[in-house]
Amino acid sequence: MADLHAALEALSPILFTDIPTEESHLKKYLQDTFARGQLLIDSVPQPPANLAAQSGRPRSNTGASIASNASEMSPSSARAEALVPAHAALQKEWGKPMKLSAKENPMGIGVNKLSGKDGRAWFARRSVHEGMPYHKWKQALKSEFPESLEIQGAPGEGNIRGIGAEKRIERKEVKGVGCLE
């Protein structure tokens, strides 16, 4: 459980001055952050395998293979194993999915809760849906930070799904690792 809580610290705010500036230290910093992210992803429990069978019509009966709106998306029976097998053992830390009404959770995605050391809680969900290609999802996610930068107002006003930016301080490509913004 300590590994999971340590990985959750990667989601907390940091001071800009705490980010290393030298290329080799920055590379290590990003690799560590990505490893923590992978641990978090692998720790979130998989949705039940029978979820696809419980939901509406299968994608094969809808005509087009790409959904034109959310109502045409459907749960998939596809499941991925944890990239690091030891991380799968952390799934039990999240406990059973919370009971939510159909109004609160129209897509039927299981939401798990993890109690924090400070009396607060973390919530996570994992779903696999058919109908939206990965590249379309990735592009939409990548557009959210620039979109949140366009909104001028009080802190947090431009957040999308609770995540946003108010000012881009720097953008730096780190070879073989990724981009820091």
User: Over the stretch 38-57, which tens digit does the pLDDT of each residue have?
Assistant: 999 999 988 876 655 555 44
Q: Which two tokens stand for residue 116?
A: 């924090």
**CA dist 3 to 7, 10, 13, 21, 80, Å?**
6, 12, 19, 26, 21
Contact 105, 19 (CB under 8 A): no
With bands split at pLDDT 50, 70 and 90, how would you rate the model's confidence at 63?
low
Tokens 């992210």 sit at which residue?
A: 37
What does residue 115 show for φ and ψ, rounded to 5 degrees?
A: -75, 135
Contact 87, 38 (CB under 8 A): yes
Instruction: Give the pTM.
Output: 0.73
Rounded Cα gap, residues 111 and 95, in angstroms:
10
pLDDT of 76-101, one tens digit each? 777 778 788 888 889 989 988 888 88
Extract the runs of DSSP E, i.e. beta strands, from 33-169: 74-75, 111-115, 121-125, 129-130
**CA dist 25 to 14, 20, 31, 37, 54, Å?**
16, 6, 10, 18, 48
Q: Which two tokens stand for residue 18?
A: 């705490």
pLDDT of 21-37, one tens digit each? 899 999 999 999 999 99
Contact 120, 8 (CB under 8 A): no
